[in-house]
Structure 1
Amino acid sequence: MKPPSPAVPPLHLPGRSWWLVPASAVLFAIALTIGFLAKLYGSPGPDLTWDESLIPRRTTAQSGLALALNTLFSPGGNIIILLLACLVLAFGLRKPLTALAFGSLTSVGWLSSEIGKLSVARLSPPAEATQALITETGNNSFPSGHTAFAASLAWAVVLVLARTGTQRTITAVGGVLLAVAVGLSRLYLGVHYPSDVIGSLLISTAGILLWLPLWNNLVEPRLRGIATIMRLTGTTRSHRTATS
């Protein structure tokens, strides 16, 4: 009689240390401090000049790219990207544990931006000053949700999908370029301050640093033994095979 199949192999993601939790708290504090100081200054903020400096540099091609990024990394676009990626990983590649790690890491980083939006409640830059190309009003300017998702997606690719040092280097460079491009597009469109973009990078990273030790030490070990995940991964045997 053969022993039963083992649980799904661990992913061995970086970030098992619980010291990441206080590091996350520090980043959250820095990000929120930036937001509160910016709100205390008032609207328009002192960094409005960055947005205004981009107005004379606008071109048709750059505007089209910025508007495309605005749509792609909108809340609806983000959900579609996450769903497609997780479905491909879970059912196409038969890696449900990887799908859950990728989806949860991206989601936690992205949704961490809501902490800043609810806590700070900063007004958007005045559209007349930035000659905004799209309409975004309200008191949810800090931090940029678009940039937070792009940064979180990049983190997830580097930490979950890249498996070698070379892959991590390549994806890290690509991820930085993506996050910078999305962040600059928010300034280009005239709907965010630079401090909103900086805050989103800090707060999304803080959320991911908080989630990594929780995932590695508490969540993943329990998921690896779930029958559905084992079956999708192909690590279970039928009763007949196991007893033959």
Structure 2
Amino acid sequence: MGSGSPPYQGHRYPVEVISHRVRLYFRFPLSFRGAEELMPEHGVVVSCETVRRWCATFGQAYSGALRRRRPRPGNTWHLDEVSIKINGERKYRWRAVDADGTVLEILVRNRRDTAAARRFFPTLLEKTRTVPRVMVTDQLRSCRAAHREVMFSVEHRSHQGLNNRAESSHQPTRQRERAMKGFRAVGGTQKSLSAFSQISPRFRPRRHRMTATGCRTEVRHRFAIRDQITSAVGRPTTA
């Protein structure tokens, strides 16, 4: 039986401070400098570089724990790809959401060809551990070809108007891109967007579907789960 080192070991500030700043950065379209400027009023003085290290260190751990707790996705998935600039070069962000708008997976690739779609589909199935009944895409031929090879048993609907769910889900990521003033590296972009896609929606409940009382109850519940997750990240693991 062995144990791992708690991830918070060696950090100056307690878990409550670190987790709160990580949540703020991924929840709102803030830059690291903006997150730094919000801290002194709470008696916390750190540099934007410290905030960046916190987000890089704990963002993936928090988002992974949230991913494991999310409900089973719906049986209709919407896939879409959109171009982004990384260090001045055009790349493509592949994205899948279910019918409720829950982000299932994001993958940054150099192209939007069949090879990229062929890579994205198995990654999506592996991360969700389920197979949809219907897959909706735009009219990109690469998706059709990859579907025939990888997900041939799934009903495929290809129509521009049917895929508004996936296309509208890109908006929060565009806000994040503007706040960061562009992305710098493919690996860092993949990690940042993966964390953002899980953490940000967690603290954006669909208020239009709830009463005021129901919304407050749901928010308290989500923060309680956040506290459980951030505390669990710092516990030693046994093998």
Structure 1 length normalisation: TM-score? 0.28
The structure number with the bigger radius of gyration is 1
Higher fraction of strand: 2
Task: Flag the structure with more relative contact order, 1 or 2, with Cα contacts below 8 A and sequence separation at least 6.
Answer: 1
Higher fraction of helix: 1
